[in-house]
Structure 1
């Protein structure tokens, strides 16, 4: 996490959390979701505006983390901005040399390969759990055929619980208020 972010958190410890305004899609792209976009439905129904500013995207990536409940967020100075996930908290890119990078650019090492009933490929890494980018599935298939990756079958509905992440912190927060 950036030093300036940590300093802001110490200076203003009681800034309210923000829900619904930021989303991460299944291709590793960040989306800003204003009130109008949120009124149209969940993140999977209405994504919002794709972020394209490289420095902002890098800032979000450096300050992206998870709380104890499995809610992923971007620490924006003193404010925690919870992220709506289209699929998983990480989107992995398989490089031509076989290495794996996160959607944030960080290199990671795979611990195991997962495949759901729809043929989507996921990787569990030391950094966490994520979806393999669709453009990299052919290269992954080559690794499976070569015996280098052995996917385990896991139903898609079980992935969030098994790997400890919440796709919609906003819906989770609303549900907690109702109980």
Structure 2
């Protein structure tokens, strides 16, 4: 977490949390979701505006964390901005040498390789669960053919409960969804 964020937290400890305003899609893109977008429906059906400002994206990614309930957020100064997730808290990028990193650039080592009913490939790591970026599925397939990773079949709907993350903190906050807490 950035020092400036820590200072803001100390100065203003009681700022209300923010829900529904930020989304992370299955390709690791961030979306700003204003009132109009939120009124149009849940993420990802109503995505909002794609963030394209590199410094803002870097700031979000440096301050991206989760709480004890498995809700992922961006610590924006003293305010937690909870993130609506399309698929998982992480989107994995895979290099040609099969090195894996998060969409935020943090290296990770897969402990489990999971394939859902729609053919989406996920990795579980010590950082949590993430979806393999669509542009890297070919590299992942090569690794699977070499037996570096052995996919286990899984139902996508079971992943949040199994890995303790919340796809929609806004729905959970509003009481519209019975989302699991992290174990």
Q: TM-score range by the shorter chain?
A: over 0.9
Matched, 1:125 2:144: no
Looking at structure 2, the residues matched to 61 and 128 of structure 1 have their Cα atoms a distance apart, in angstroms, of: 16
Matched, 1:143 2:143: yes
Looking at structure 2, the residues matched to 127 and 71 of structure 1 have their Cα atoms a distance apart, in angstroms, of: 14
Looking at structure 1, the residues matched to 146 and 45 of structure 2 have their Cα atoms a distance apart, in angstroms, of: 38
Number of residue pairs aligned between Structure 1 and Structure 2: 176
Shift of 1:84: 0.4
Q: Counterpart of 1:16 in 2: which secondary structure?
A: coil
Shift of 1:105: 1.3
Q: How does 1:49-128 map to 2 (within 5 A)?
A: 49-128=49-128
Aligned to 1:12: 12
**TM-score, with length taken from structure 1:** 0.96
* Structure 1 runs of 4+ with >4 Å offset: none
Instruction: Note the residue ranges of structure 1 that are not aligned, 5 or more in a row.
Output: none
Aligned to 2:179: none
Looking at structure 2, the residues matched to 126 and 53 of structure 1 have their Cα atoms a distance apart, in angstroms, of: 29
In angstroms, what is the RMSD of aligned CA positions? 0.9
**TM-score, with length taken from structure 2:** 0.94
Aligned to 1:41: 41
